[in-house]
Amino acid sequence: MHRALTTLMLVAALGGVRSGTGAAQQREVVEMVAERFTFTPSRLEVPVGTTVEIHIRSEDTDHGFHLVNGPNVIVPKRRQGEAVVVFEAEAPGVYQFECSKLCGAGHNFMKGEIIVTGPNDNDDGAGAGNDDS
Ligand SMILES: [Cu+2]
Q: In 3-state terms, what secondary structure has residue 10?
A: helix
Kindly write down the DSSP assignment for every residue of 47-74, as one continuous string. Answer: ETTEEEEEEEEESSS-EEEEETTS-EEE
34 lies in a domain?
yes
3 lies in a domain?
no
4 lies in a domain?
no
Question: Hey, how many other C-beta atoms are within 10 angstroms of the C-beta on 51?
Answer: 15
Could you tell me the distance, in angstroms and rounded to a whole number, from the CA of residue 62 to the centre of ligand 1? 8
Could you tell me the distance, in angstroms and rounded to a whole number, from the CA of residue 106 to the centre of ligand 1? 7
CA–centroid distance for 78 within its chain: 22
Could you tell me the distance, in angstroms and rounded to a whole number, from the CA of residue 115 to the centre of ligand 1? 22
Q: Which domain holds residue 99?
A: 23-117
Could you tell me the distance, in angstroms and rounded to a whole number, from the CA of residue 61 to the centre of ligand 1? 9
Residues 50-86: tens digit of each pLDDT? 999 999 999 999 999 999 999 999 999 999 999 999 9
Residues 13-26: tens digit of each pLDDT? 443 344 434 455 79
8 lies in a domain?
no
Could you tell me the distance, in angstroms and rounded to a whole number, from the CA of residue 108 to the centre of ligand 1? 7
133 lies in a domain?
no
6 lies in a domain?
no
Could you tell me the distance, in angstroms and rounded to a whole number, from the CA of residue 77 to the centre of ligand 1? 12
Is the pTM higher than 0.85? The answer reads no
Could you tell me the distance, in angstroms and rounded to a whole number, from the CA of residue 80 to the centre of ligand 1? 17
9 lies in a domain?
no
Number of folded domains that form the chain: 1
The enclosing domain of 87 has a CATH number of: 2.60.40.420
CA dihedral 82, 100, 102, 64 (to 10 degrees): 0
